Amino acid sequence: MKVPFLDLKAQYLELQDEFDAAYRRVMDSGWYILGKELEAFEAEFAVYCQVKHCIGVGNGLDALHLILRASGIGPGDEVIVPTNTYIATWLAVTYSGATPVPVEPDEQTYNINPSRIESAITECTKAIMPVHLYGQPADMDRINEIAVRHGLKVFEDSAQAHGAKYKGRRTGGLGDAAGFSFYPGKNLGAFGDGGAVTTNDDDLAEIIRILRNYGSQIKYHNEVMGFNSRLDELHAAMLRVKLAKLDEWNERRKQVAALYFDQLTSNTNLVLPCVPDWADPVWHLFVVRSKKRGELQKQLTDARIGTMIHYPIPPHLQEAYSELGYGKGSFPISEKVHNEVLSLPMGPSMSPSQVSMVTETVRRLV
C-alpha cells in the first residue's frame, strides 16, 4: 500500500517508549483488572470529556448496552436510533430487550435529522440515541429540546467522536450519558477492545460500575445479575499514553481534512463533508460521496490507496434485522447515502504528500 487507509503501527511507533514503560508498569504491579491504571484513566477521561464520571467497560457496544440497562430500559420500550450508523447502535438497544426505532439522517451531515424524530415518538419511546457519525457531533440542542418536551433520555453514541465539540462543548457530556469505543481504529484506540461510559448522573454511574462487574460491589456479594465487561489495566495504561496525545492527533487529522477540502472542492461531481458552523469534528473518517463510487474505489485501489465504505449495508437491510420487517426502500435517504459513500485514507500519521497522492488519483476520475 502506498497510502494505507489507517496506519495503526505508525501510532505505536510514535509513542513506543511510553507504551513500553506503561506495559512494564502494569506487568510489575502484579494487578491486572480493576486497579490503579483504570482508576487513573477514568479520572483523566472524565476531565477530558468535561463530565463527572467515566466508567471503563469491555467495548463500545457494552457501554451503550449497559447505559440502557442501568436506565431501566427493556422489553416493551422503544429507543430512537439513526438509520445511518454502524449496527452496534441498534444491537445495544436490542440486547437491552427494547426495540430500535430508526430515524433517517440529514442528507448533508449524515447524522440523525432532528426534524424527523418527533414523528417516530410513541408512548413506548424512552430514549433517543444519536450517533456522532464520522467524528462530527449530531445537532444536540435540537435533540435535547425534543427529549425534554417528551420526557425522554438522550444517550450519545460517541464511539467515533473522542474530543469532538458541539458549540464548544465536548461530546460525552451532551446528553444523559454517552458510550465510547476504544476499538484500535477509533481516534482513541486501545491495542484490543475497550470502551467507556461517561455521565454526570451519580446514580447511573454507580449502577454501571456494579453492572460491569458481575452485579457486585463487594467481592462475592451479587446485588443484581450483572455482566463481565471491564476495561483491563493494560488497556487503561496504554489509553492514558494516547489520551495525552489525543488533541494533537485530532489536530493532525484536521490538517489532513483541510488539505482534502483544498484539493477537492473544485470537483463538482464529488460531495465533500458538510460541517455546520456549530460543529468541531475530529475526522474519525473523511467520507465523500460519488455516483461513480465503484469506479472511484477501483481507481484508488489500483493506485495502491486504501479506502473503505462506511457502511455498505444499513442495519435495516442486514439479515440480522430481518425480524423487524424492513426492506429496500424503507429508509431511502440512508440507502442512497450507503450507495454513494467512500471513506478516503485518514489518520494522524498521514503526510501531505500522501494526501496529494489520494487527491490526484481522485481528480483523474471525477
Ligand X SMILES: *Cc1c(COP(=O)(O)O)cnc(C)c1O
- Closest distance to ligand X from the beta carbon of 88 (Å): 3
**In DSSP terms, which residues pair with 102 in a beta bridge?**
81
At which residue does the C-alpha cell 464520571 appear?
53
Cα–Cα dist 130/58, whole Å: 21
Residue placing its CB nearer to ligand X in the complex, 164 or 270: 164
Residue placing its CB nearer to ligand X in the complex, 157 or 357: 157
- Closest distance to ligand X from the beta carbon of 185 (Å): 8
Cα 23 → chain centroid: 26
Written as one letter, the residue type at 155 is F
In DSSP notation, 65-128 reads HHHHHHTT--TT-EEEEESSS-HHHHHHHHHHT-EEEEEPBPTTT-SB-GGGTGGG--TTEEEE
CA angle 166, 110, 363 (to 5 degrees): 110
CB 136 within 8 A of CB 281: yes
Task: Compute φ and ψ for 58, nearest 5 degrees.
Answer: -70, -30
Which positions are annotated as active-site residues?
186
State the residues that interact with ligand X by CB under 6 A.
Answer: 59-61, 85-86, 88-89, 131, 157, 159-160, 181, 183, 193, 195
- Closest distance to ligand X from the beta carbon of 247 (Å): 21
Residue placing its CB nearer to ligand X in the complex, 160 or 361: 160
Residue placing its CB nearer to ligand X in the complex, 166 or 183: 183
Cα–Cα dist 96/287, whole Å: 31
- Closest distance to ligand X from the beta carbon of 223 (Å): 26
Give the torsion sign (CA, 238, 244, 245, 250): positive
- Closest distance to ligand X from the beta carbon of 132 (Å): 8
Collapse the DSSP code of 344 into the 3-class scheme (helix H, G, I; strand E, B; otherwise coil) and give the result: strand
Residues 6+ apart with CB under 8 A from 4: 306, 345
- Closest distance to ligand X from the beta carbon of 179 (Å): 7
Q: Report which residue's Cβ sits closest to ligand X.
A: 60
Classify residue 17 by its DSSP letter: H
Residue placing its CB nearer to ligand X in the complex, 157 or 201: 157
Residue placing its CB nearer to ligand X in the complex, 163 or 355: 163
CA angle 123, 126, 129 (to 5 degrees): 130
Task: Compute φ and ψ for 13, nearest 5 degrees.
Answer: -65, -35
